Amino acid sequence: MQGLAAASLLLSTGARQADAAPTSVPAPAVLRGTEFDLVVEEQAINLTGATRMATTINGTFPAPTLVWREGDTVTIRVTNRLREDTSIHWHGIILPFEMDGVPGLSFQGIAPGTTFTYQFTVQQSGTYWYHSHSGDQKVTGMYGALIIEPRDGEHIQADRDYVVQLSDWSDTSMLKVFRTLKQQSDVYNTRKPTFAEFLRDVRATGLEAAVAERAMWQQMRMNPTDLADVSGAVLQFLLNGNTPAQPWTGLFTPGERVRLRFINAAGNSLYDVRIPGVTMTLVQADGIDVQPVSFEEFRFGPGETYDVIVEPTHDVCTIFAQSIDRSGYACGFLATTAGLRAAVPEPDPVQWLQMGDMMGTMDHGAHGGQSASAAVDHSAHLAPASPLAVPSAQVRHASNEFGPGVDMRVDMPRTSLDDPGVGLRNNGRRVLTPLDVRSLRGPFETRAPEREIELHLTGNMERYTWSIDGLAFGDSSPVHMRAGERVRVILHNDTMMSHPMHLHGMWSDLETPQGEFLTRRHTVLIHPAQRISFLTTPNDLGRWAWHCHIMFHMDAGMFREVVVTA
């Protein structure tokens, strides 16, 4: 199915070299109302000194910001002027499945030269976004912000309101990048351990300990700095479509409350975001109001959104978003006057993955490797209760989770909702964690789950294959749910990579290991060797997508269909 798995990527042409001279691509327009006409086409763009073709909507890069109102019925006519099919998925929006915009599931896609009309009633408010679900069109510019105003008026008070959309861009064709990863999965890792670092460790811990640590990683055929598949070696990190060389600036007046709507629209990049010298207060996560919590830094993966309030006290401050592997950054400024610049920090040093990140037996026995062990006793944290009152702590590996497509398994996972993640621990800053993010209004539904579904996120790093329960999308069967049933989903990460999992068409009510509701999300970021759970209630019949929002993980197989029936 085009747009769903690797086949869609192979049909795409990537960041195509332009035949024409570069043109000036304007910044996104802001479109309000209930009727919208969007035109998708190719346009020459020059971000880095090389001219390439971007996929634009209405001629802007990124796409226009759409402003809707909760309760309104919106009509969006999308005309395709590309030479290939296109689509638009309304990320996080609850709507009929025919309007979800996933080719091969909810519709056939929008053929060249045709117009497709999306129409549905808006049932929510907050910050969301939209993007193509066809080939590589999203990473070549086909993404935009979506702001939905509450029916009864905005209750989050702010004097200024800005979208801060983070993304990534490559002058290299995405097809070529994907092929390169299949040949050597760590080729873009520019932070591999060096001999100089080995000598440093020898001085710090002694020769025997330093050698033993390297030997452990070699025996497991893993790399302790393998934090991102695609790095700054081939990516340019963008903020509102701007490179650090030509940064975006948002103006403010001293004393104002500024709302920043952070959207991670990247194809492959997790970002760690901070504004040096400025405290951020979280007010929304994935469009849902949360209890205000203050912090200095947060991590978010592709698909997630975070709304924060800041009150800058200096004339200019830097919005700094470094990639998780520290290979580069996006940046912009908040300033009282156009043209003011503040210092831009250097990326933090790379922190190695530790066995604590694995938190369990890395089972390589089927492939001739060795295992390393570390145990977490979940039973100590679980109060006696009925079987479905709390998430199951017993690991249940699927029978498919063995073989050449899976190179590791986690038998004793961690939950660690209070862990900010590798690279953010003990950095001297107050870092937001999933445990800090709690819904303002409490549980949206109090029913206990009727059943539990456990799925394992799996892969083989060397082969660069990704899957769920050891099965790539093309080999898998759909997950079946009944409309109206309350379901608990357990996602268990058997890999050493982070996966932002996005479930279309329904909410994911994240919970603690004790079954305590935290907040409602549409994208759940799961770290290496982590086991998390959420509750969901499917209400809309149809065929829905469920996938990792890292582009190449999805295209390589970490994708499932969910079928909701009456």
Pairing, β 258-264 against β 160-169: parallel
Question: Is 515:525 a contact under the CB 8 Å cutoff?
Answer: no
99-150 residue pLDDT tens: 999 999 999 999 999 999 999 999 999 999 999 999 999 999 999 999 999 9
Residue that is written with structure tokens 């909507």 in the block:
57
* Neighbouring-strand partners of residue 76: 36, 118
Q: How far apart are CA 525 and CA 532, in angstroms?
A: 9
Question: Domains in the chain, please, with CATH?
Answer: 6-154 (2.60.40.420), 156-191+227-350 (2.60.40.420), 357-565 (2.60.40.420)
241-254 residue pLDDT tens: 999 999 999 999 99
CB-side neighbour CA atoms (13 Å) of 467:
26
Is the CA virtual torsion 356, 357, 360, 366 positive or negative?
Answer: negative
59-99 residue pLDDT tens: 999 999 999 999 999 999 999 999 999 999 999 999 999 99
Q: Quick count: other Cβ atoms within 10 Å of Cβ 155?
A: 10
> What mean pLDDT is reported for the chain?
87
Tell which residue, 42, 75, 46, has the closest CA to residue 59: 42
Tell which residue, 511, 470, 457, 471, has the closest CA to residue 487: 511
Predicted pLDDT at 13: 37
Predicted pLDDT at 72: 98
The H or E element that residue 230 is part of is none
Rg (CA), the chain: 23
Percent of the chain topping pLDDT 70? 83
pLDDT band at residue 3 using 50, 70 and 90 as cut-offs: very low
CB-based burial label for 56 (10 Å; 0-12, 13-18, 19+): buried
Tell which residue, 341, 358, 442, 353, has the closest CA to residue 408: 358
* Neighbouring-strand partners of residue 297: 274, 431
Torsion of CA 239, 244, 246, 252, to 10 degrees: 60
Decide if pLDDT at 159 tops 70: yes
Decide if pLDDT at 390 tops 60: yes
Decide if pLDDT at 399 tops 90: no
pLDDT band at residue 281 using 50, 70 and 90 as cut-offs: very high
Beta strands in 85-125 (DSSP E): 89-91, 115-121
Which phi and psi angles does 350 have, rounded to 5°?
A: -75, 130
pLDDT band at residue 351 using 50, 70 and 90 as cut-offs: confident
Question: Is 520:439 a contact under the CB 8 Å cutoff?
Answer: yes
pTM: 0.88
Q: How far apart are CA 68 and CA 90, in angstroms?
A: 12
Tell which residue, 321, 320, 345, 349, has the closest CA to residue 191: 349
Q: How far apart are CA 444 and CA 453, in angstroms?
A: 20
Percent of the chain topping pLDDT 90? 71
Predicted pLDDT at 1: 39
Q: What is the mean pLDDT of residues 379-383?
A: 31
Q: What is the mean pLDDT of residues 357-374?
A: 38
Q: How far apart are CA 302 and CA 549, in angstroms?
A: 6
Decide if pLDDT at 423 tops 70: yes
In 3-state terms, what secondary structure has residue 107?
A: strand
The H or E element that residue 130 is part of is strand 126-131
Q: How far apart are CA 508 and CA 79, in angstroms?
A: 32
CA 191 distance to own-chain centroid:
22
pLDDT band at residue 7 using 50, 70 and 90 as cut-offs: very low
Question: Is 456:397 a contact under the CB 8 Å cutoff?
Answer: yes
221: Cβ contacts below 8 Å, ≥ 6 apart: 364, 369, 407, 461, 462
Predicted pLDDT at 400: 81
425-456 residue pLDDT tens: 989 999 999 999 999 998 999 999 999 999 99
pLDDT band at residue 379 using 50, 70 and 90 as cut-offs: very low
User: For residues 197 and 560, which has the higher predicted lDDT (pLDDT)?
Assistant: 560
Q: How far apart are CA 36 and CA 67, in angstroms?
A: 10
Is the CA virtual torsion 52, 55, 57, 62 positive or negative?
Answer: negative
456-499 residue pLDDT tens: 999 998 889 999 999 999 999 999 999 999 999 999 999 989 99
CA 511 distance to own-chain centroid:
19
Q: How is residue 522 written in tokens?
A: 């549409």
Helix axis angle, 195-205 relative to 207-219, nearest 10°?
130
316-335 residue pLDDT tens: 999 999 999 999 999 999 99
Predicted pLDDT at 178: 87
Q: How is residue 75 written in tokens?
A: 């009509």
* Neighbouring-strand partners of residue 298: 273
Residue that is written with structure tokens 């035949």 in the block:
19
The H or E element that residue 207 is part of is helix 207-219
Predicted pLDDT at 355: 66
pLDDT band at residue 350 using 50, 70 and 90 as cut-offs: confident
Q: How far apart are CA 265 and CA 144, in angstroms?
A: 8
pLDDT band at residue 202 using 50, 70 and 90 as cut-offs: low
Q: How far apart are CA 270 and CA 420, in angstroms?
A: 13
Q: Quick count: other Cβ atoms within 10 Å of Cβ 448?
A: 13
Buried b / exposed e over 406-432, threshold 16 CB at 10 Å, is bbbbbbbbbbbbebbbbbbeebeebbb
Buried b / exposed e over 349-364, threshold 16 CB at 10 Å, is ebbbbebebbbbbbbb
